[in-house]
Amino acid sequence: MALIRSIKGIAPKFGKNCFLAENATVVGEVEMGDNCSVWFNTVVRGDVHYIKIGNNVNIQDGAIVHCTYKKSPVNIGNNVSIAHNAIIHGCTIHDNVLIGMGAIVMDDAVVESNSIVAAGALISKGTIVETGSVYAGVPAKKIKSIDPSLLEGEVMRIAKSYSTYASWHDPNIEPIADI
């Protein structure tokens, strides 16, 4: 069973049809929408500020979601995939976004809708990732506009697939996509 802990009397809140891996940790002021999944060795730590997560969000193995005390909360939209070992810290991620493996998104950055942050990228403090773009590198820069087939074939496909993967681990989870 996942470690779910209240901090200062504030407990995490979960929507319907969510999967939490046995060794995931969710702490404090965290509000998660429907059809979300938090995978193995992942930490979502709302102890110093709030974390709001939309619907159909998957936070994959080893990822960390955290904030900056009283300054920078985390807001995550709908249909977002946060890949393995990514770090999301005090930032805003809009809808239909893929954050690649090992990527880091820092305080006060904004990742606008329909975008990809490439694996290993560093989105520096205060950076705005433009709608419909792919950012890569350290520090990350725009490398191209996102092709509609990439948006549907990767960003949306991955976001939808994770409810199916969750159903393999928990028979109470209802998949939202047939993969």
User: For residues 111 and 28, what is the distance between their CA atoms, to the nearest angstrom?
Assistant: 24
Long-range contacts of 133-138 (CB under 8 A, 24+ apart): none
Mean pLDDT of the chain: 96
Q: Supply the pTM of this predicted model.
A: 0.96
Does some domain include residue 179? no
Does some domain include residue 176? no
What CATH number has the domain bearing residue 111? 2.160.10.10
Which residue would you say has higher pLDDT here, 9 or 147?
9
Q: Are 117 and 103 in contact (CB under 8 A)?
A: yes
Does some domain include residue 32? yes
User: For residues 152 and 163, what is the distance between their CA atoms, to the nearest angstrom?
Assistant: 17
Does some domain include residue 152? yes
Indicate if the pLDDT at residue 102 is higher than 70: yes
Per-residue pLDDT tens digits for 105-125: 999 999 999 999 999 999 999
Indicate if the pLDDT at residue 153 is higher than 90: no
User: For residues 21 and 60, what is the distance between their CA atoms, to the nearest angstrom?
Assistant: 10
Domain count for the chain: 1
What pLDDT was estimated at residue 176?
81
Does some domain include residue 20? yes
Give the structural domain span for 160: 3-169
pLDDT confidence band for 175 (50 / 70 / 90): confident
Question: Which residues, listed in sequence order, are joined to residue 111 by a DSSP beta bridge?
Answer: 93, 129
User: For residues 125 and 146, what is the distance between their CA atoms, to the nearest angstrom?
Assistant: 23
State which H helix or E strand residue 165 sits in.
helix 157-169
